[in-house]
Amino acid sequence: MKDLCNAWSEAAPRQQQRIVARALEKIAGPLRPIQLNETHAGAIVLDWKNRTKPMTAYNYAATLRQLLRFLKRGDIKLPHLRKPGPRTIIATPDELTRVLEHASPWMRVLLLLAAHAGLRASDCLRAAPIHYDRENKTLNLYQQKTGTLARLPLTDELTATIEAIPADEPEKPLYAIVRGKTISKKGFCSAWNTLKKKSGVNPGLWIHDLRRTLAVSLYEVSKDLRVVEHMLGHRSLASTAQYLEHRDPQMIKQVLDQLWKPKGPVQ
Protein backbone atom coordinates (compact mmCIF):
# COMPACT_ATOMS: atom_id res chain seq x y z
CA MET A 1 0.00 0.00 0.00
CA LYS A 2 2.78 2.41 0.93
CA ASP A 3 4.57 1.96 -2.39
CA LEU A 4 1.37 2.45 -4.38
CA CYS A 5 0.42 5.60 -2.46
CA ASN A 6 3.92 6.99 -2.89
CA ALA A 7 3.89 6.27 -6.61
CA TRP A 8 0.55 8.04 -7.02
CA SER A 9 1.49 11.12 -4.97
CA GLU A 10 4.90 11.47 -6.64
CA ALA A 11 3.26 11.49 -10.05
CA ALA A 12 1.17 14.49 -8.99
CA PRO A 13 3.21 17.37 -7.52
CA ARG A 14 0.37 19.01 -5.59
CA GLN A 15 0.67 18.99 -1.81
CA GLN A 16 -2.96 17.88 -1.55
CA GLN A 17 -2.17 14.54 -3.20
CA ARG A 18 0.65 13.89 -0.75
CA ILE A 19 -1.57 14.69 2.25
CA VAL A 20 -4.31 12.36 1.05
CA ALA A 21 -1.86 9.56 0.22
CA ARG A 22 -0.28 9.79 3.68
CA ALA A 23 -3.72 9.68 5.32
CA LEU A 24 -4.71 6.51 3.46
CA GLU A 25 -1.32 4.93 4.08
CA LYS A 26 -1.59 5.66 7.80
CA ILE A 27 -5.00 4.10 8.28
CA ALA A 28 -4.50 1.18 5.87
CA GLY A 29 -1.13 0.13 7.24
CA PRO A 30 -0.04 -3.20 5.72
CA LEU A 31 -3.37 -3.84 3.99
CA ARG A 32 -3.54 -4.52 0.28
CA PRO A 33 -5.89 -2.40 -1.87
CA ILE A 34 -8.34 -5.32 -2.15
CA GLN A 35 -8.68 -5.28 1.66
CA LEU A 36 -9.73 -1.62 1.83
CA ASN A 37 -13.35 -0.97 2.69
CA GLU A 38 -15.76 1.88 3.36
CA THR A 39 -14.88 1.91 7.07
CA HIS A 40 -11.26 2.84 6.31
CA ALA A 41 -12.14 5.52 3.77
CA GLY A 42 -15.02 6.86 5.85
CA ALA A 43 -12.82 7.29 8.92
CA ILE A 44 -10.39 9.41 6.90
CA VAL A 45 -13.12 11.66 5.51
CA LEU A 46 -14.80 12.15 8.89
CA ASP A 47 -11.43 13.05 10.42
CA TRP A 48 -10.96 15.73 7.76
CA LYS A 49 -14.50 16.95 8.34
CA ASN A 50 -13.77 17.42 12.07
CA ARG A 51 -10.28 18.93 11.73
CA THR A 52 -10.25 21.05 8.59
CA LYS A 53 -12.26 23.78 6.94
CA PRO A 54 -15.32 22.63 4.96
CA MET A 55 -13.82 23.36 1.54
CA THR A 56 -10.56 21.68 2.49
CA ALA A 57 -12.39 18.54 3.64
CA TYR A 58 -14.46 18.55 0.44
CA ASN A 59 -11.35 18.85 -1.76
CA TYR A 60 -9.47 16.18 0.18
CA ALA A 61 -12.40 13.79 -0.22
CA ALA A 62 -12.46 14.42 -3.97
CA THR A 63 -8.74 13.68 -4.15
CA LEU A 64 -9.23 10.50 -2.10
CA ARG A 65 -11.72 9.31 -4.72
CA GLN A 66 -9.02 9.79 -7.36
CA LEU A 67 -6.56 7.76 -5.31
CA LEU A 68 -9.07 4.96 -4.76
CA ARG A 69 -9.71 4.79 -8.51
CA PHE A 70 -5.95 4.56 -9.05
CA LEU A 71 -5.92 1.62 -6.62
CA LYS A 72 -8.78 -0.01 -8.56
CA ARG A 73 -11.12 0.59 -5.60
CA GLY A 74 -13.38 3.20 -7.10
CA ASP A 75 -16.30 1.10 -5.86
CA ILE A 76 -15.73 2.29 -2.27
CA LYS A 77 -18.31 4.92 -1.30
CA LEU A 78 -17.25 7.89 0.81
CA PRO A 79 -19.41 9.86 3.28
CA HIS A 80 -21.24 12.62 1.45
CA LEU A 81 -19.83 16.10 1.99
CA ARG A 82 -21.79 19.02 0.63
CA LYS A 83 -19.66 21.43 -1.34
CA PRO A 84 -19.54 24.75 0.55
CA GLY A 85 -20.43 27.96 -1.22
CA PRO A 86 -17.54 30.27 -2.15
CA ARG A 87 -16.12 32.31 0.72
CA THR A 88 -16.82 36.01 0.19
CA ILE A 89 -15.00 37.71 3.08
CA ILE A 90 -12.36 40.25 2.09
CA ALA A 91 -10.40 42.84 4.04
CA THR A 92 -11.40 46.49 3.79
CA PRO A 93 -8.71 49.09 2.96
CA ASP A 94 -8.92 50.29 6.56
CA GLU A 95 -8.41 46.77 7.91
CA LEU A 96 -5.37 46.27 5.71
CA THR A 97 -3.91 49.54 6.89
CA ARG A 98 -4.47 48.68 10.54
CA VAL A 99 -2.97 45.18 10.46
CA LEU A 100 0.09 46.45 8.60
CA GLU A 101 0.53 49.31 11.08
CA HIS A 102 0.33 46.99 14.10
CA ALA A 103 2.33 44.11 12.62
CA SER A 104 5.86 43.36 13.78
CA PRO A 105 8.49 43.70 11.00
CA TRP A 106 8.61 39.97 10.24
CA MET A 107 4.83 39.63 10.23
CA ARG A 108 4.56 42.67 7.98
CA VAL A 109 6.72 40.87 5.40
CA LEU A 110 4.29 37.92 5.39
CA LEU A 111 1.22 40.14 5.19
CA LEU A 112 2.62 42.07 2.22
CA LEU A 113 3.37 38.81 0.42
CA ALA A 114 -0.25 37.75 0.96
CA ALA A 115 -1.96 41.10 0.30
CA HIS A 116 0.28 42.52 -2.45
CA ALA A 117 1.52 39.36 -4.22
CA GLY A 118 -1.49 37.12 -3.51
CA LEU A 119 0.55 34.26 -2.08
CA ARG A 120 -1.05 31.49 -0.06
CA ALA A 121 0.11 31.24 3.55
CA SER A 122 2.29 28.19 2.79
CA ASP A 123 4.11 30.11 0.06
CA CYS A 124 4.44 33.25 2.19
CA LEU A 125 6.37 31.12 4.66
CA ARG A 126 8.65 29.81 1.87
CA ALA A 127 9.38 32.94 -0.17
CA ALA A 128 13.13 33.66 0.03
CA PRO A 129 15.68 36.02 -1.55
CA ILE A 130 16.47 33.35 -4.14
CA HIS A 131 12.94 33.76 -5.51
CA TYR A 132 13.32 37.50 -6.09
CA ASP A 133 14.29 38.74 -9.56
CA ARG A 134 15.84 42.15 -8.88
CA GLU A 135 16.09 43.09 -12.55
CA ASN A 136 12.44 42.47 -13.38
CA LYS A 137 11.04 43.20 -9.90
CA THR A 138 9.18 39.91 -9.79
CA LEU A 139 8.85 37.00 -7.39
CA ASN A 140 9.29 33.63 -9.09
CA LEU A 141 8.51 30.51 -7.10
CA TYR A 142 6.82 27.16 -7.47
CA GLN A 143 3.55 27.13 -5.58
CA GLN A 144 3.38 24.46 -2.92
CA LYS A 145 -0.28 23.68 -3.55
CA THR A 146 -0.16 23.33 -7.33
CA GLY A 147 3.49 22.71 -8.11
CA THR A 148 3.32 25.33 -10.87
CA LEU A 149 5.69 28.25 -11.29
CA ALA A 150 4.25 31.68 -10.49
CA ARG A 151 5.95 34.81 -11.83
CA LEU A 152 4.46 37.65 -9.84
CA PRO A 153 4.95 41.38 -10.45
CA LEU A 154 5.51 43.25 -7.19
CA THR A 155 4.24 46.55 -5.87
CA ASP A 156 6.73 49.30 -5.05
CA GLU A 157 6.12 48.76 -1.34
CA LEU A 158 6.76 45.02 -1.48
CA THR A 159 9.78 45.53 -3.74
CA ALA A 160 11.30 48.02 -1.28
CA THR A 161 10.60 45.65 1.62
CA ILE A 162 12.30 42.70 -0.07
CA GLU A 163 15.30 44.71 -1.23
CA ALA A 164 15.85 45.98 2.33
CA ILE A 165 16.22 42.41 3.62
CA PRO A 166 19.80 41.02 3.58
CA ALA A 167 20.27 38.29 1.00
CA ASP A 168 23.29 36.62 2.60
CA GLU A 169 21.23 33.44 3.06
CA PRO A 170 19.39 33.29 -0.27
CA GLU A 171 17.33 30.19 0.55
CA LYS A 172 16.22 31.31 4.01
CA PRO A 173 12.62 32.62 4.08
CA LEU A 174 12.38 36.41 3.94
CA TYR A 175 10.36 36.69 7.14
CA ALA A 176 12.80 34.37 8.97
CA ILE A 177 15.74 36.61 8.06
CA VAL A 178 13.90 39.53 9.64
CA ARG A 179 12.67 37.50 12.61
CA GLY A 180 15.93 35.69 13.18
CA LYS A 181 14.27 32.26 13.13
CA THR A 182 11.50 30.35 11.44
CA ILE A 183 7.99 29.80 12.75
CA SER A 184 5.57 26.91 12.32
CA LYS A 185 2.34 27.39 10.40
CA LYS A 186 0.50 26.93 13.70
CA GLY A 187 2.64 29.63 15.31
CA PHE A 188 2.00 31.89 12.35
CA CYS A 189 -1.77 31.44 12.73
CA SER A 190 -1.52 32.19 16.45
CA ALA A 191 0.45 35.37 15.75
CA TRP A 192 -2.15 36.36 13.14
CA ASN A 193 -5.01 35.90 15.62
CA THR A 194 -3.17 38.04 18.17
CA LEU A 195 -2.58 40.72 15.54
CA LYS A 196 -6.27 40.77 14.57
CA LYS A 197 -7.26 41.46 18.18
CA LYS A 198 -4.62 44.14 18.52
CA SER A 199 -5.71 45.81 15.27
CA GLY A 200 -9.45 45.56 15.96
CA VAL A 201 -10.25 44.01 12.58
CA ASN A 202 -12.82 41.35 11.69
CA PRO A 203 -11.92 38.34 13.90
CA GLY A 204 -13.15 36.03 11.15
CA LEU A 205 -10.59 37.32 8.66
CA TRP A 206 -8.22 34.61 7.40
CA ILE A 207 -4.74 35.12 5.99
CA HIS A 208 -6.09 33.58 2.78
CA ASP A 209 -8.70 36.35 2.67
CA LEU A 210 -5.87 38.79 1.89
CA ARG A 211 -5.25 36.80 -1.30
CA ARG A 212 -8.97 36.98 -2.09
CA THR A 213 -8.94 40.72 -1.36
CA LEU A 214 -6.21 41.22 -3.96
CA ALA A 215 -8.17 39.15 -6.49
CA VAL A 216 -11.31 41.21 -5.97
CA SER A 217 -9.42 44.50 -6.14
CA LEU A 218 -7.64 43.52 -9.35
CA TYR A 219 -10.86 42.40 -10.99
CA GLU A 220 -12.81 45.51 -10.00
CA VAL A 221 -10.09 47.72 -11.52
CA SER A 222 -9.38 45.68 -14.66
CA LYS A 223 -12.55 43.61 -15.25
CA ASP A 224 -10.09 41.14 -16.75
CA LEU A 225 -10.19 37.59 -15.40
CA ARG A 226 -6.90 36.74 -17.12
CA VAL A 227 -5.08 39.40 -15.10
CA VAL A 228 -6.42 37.91 -11.87
CA GLU A 229 -5.71 34.36 -13.04
CA HIS A 230 -2.07 35.23 -13.68
CA MET A 231 -1.60 37.01 -10.37
CA LEU A 232 -3.12 34.17 -8.36
CA GLY A 233 -1.19 31.53 -10.27
CA HIS A 234 -4.35 29.54 -10.98
CA ARG A 235 -4.07 26.63 -13.39
CA SER A 236 -7.49 27.28 -14.92
CA LEU A 237 -9.71 30.27 -15.57
CA ALA A 238 -12.59 28.35 -14.00
CA SER A 239 -10.89 28.53 -10.59
CA THR A 240 -10.51 32.30 -10.95
CA ALA A 241 -14.10 32.74 -12.09
CA GLN A 242 -15.43 30.82 -9.10
CA TYR A 243 -13.26 32.99 -6.83
CA LEU A 244 -14.99 36.13 -8.12
CA GLU A 245 -18.49 34.99 -9.02
CA HIS A 246 -20.07 36.72 -6.01
CA ARG A 247 -18.70 40.12 -7.13
CA ASP A 248 -20.06 40.09 -10.69
CA PRO A 249 -22.43 37.11 -10.96
CA GLN A 250 -23.95 37.88 -14.37
CA MET A 251 -20.66 38.47 -16.16
CA ILE A 252 -18.83 35.60 -14.44
CA LYS A 253 -21.71 33.23 -15.17
CA GLN A 254 -21.27 33.94 -18.88
CA VAL A 255 -17.57 33.08 -18.58
CA LEU A 256 -18.28 29.86 -16.68
CA ASP A 257 -20.99 28.85 -19.17
CA GLN A 258 -18.55 29.41 -22.02
CA LEU A 259 -15.81 27.41 -20.27
CA TRP A 260 -18.09 24.43 -19.74
CA LYS A 261 -19.96 24.70 -23.04
CA PRO A 262 -19.98 21.32 -24.80
CA LYS A 263 -17.46 21.16 -27.62
CA GLY A 264 -18.67 20.45 -31.10
CA PRO A 265 -17.63 17.40 -33.10
CA VAL A 266 -14.05 17.35 -34.28
CA GLN A 267 -13.85 18.16 -37.99
241 vs 22 pLDDT, higher one: 22
The 10s digit of each residue's pLDDT in 166-193 is 999 999 999 999 999 999 988 999 999 9
Write down the pLDDT at residue 240. 84
Q: What is the pLDDT of residues 11-56, one digit of tens each?
A: 766 788 889 999 999 998 888 999 999 999 999 999 999 999 898 8
All structural domains of the chain? 2-70 (no CATH), 93-222 (1.10.443.10)
pLDDT tens for 97-110 read 999 999 999 999 99
pLDDT surpassing 60 at residue 89? yes
Q: Is the pLDDT of residue 148 over 60?
A: yes
Check residue 267 and give its pLDDT: 40
Nearest CA among 149, 209, 139, 208 for reference residue 174: 139
pLDDT tens-digit map of 199-240: 999 999 999 999 999 999 998 888 888 888 888 888 778 778
Average pLDDT, the chain: 89
To 5 degrees, how large is the angle CA 176–CA 218–CA 158?
A: 25
Own/partner pairs, 117-123, CB within 8 angstroms, 24+ separation: 117/152, 117/154, 117/158, 117/214, 117/231, 118/152, 118/211, 118/214, 118/215, 118/231, 118/232, 118/233, 119/152, 119/211, 120/144, 120/145, 120/208, 120/211, 121/185, 121/188, 121/207, 121/208, 122/15, 122/185
pLDDT band at 264, cuts 50/70/90? very low
pLDDT number for residue 261: 57
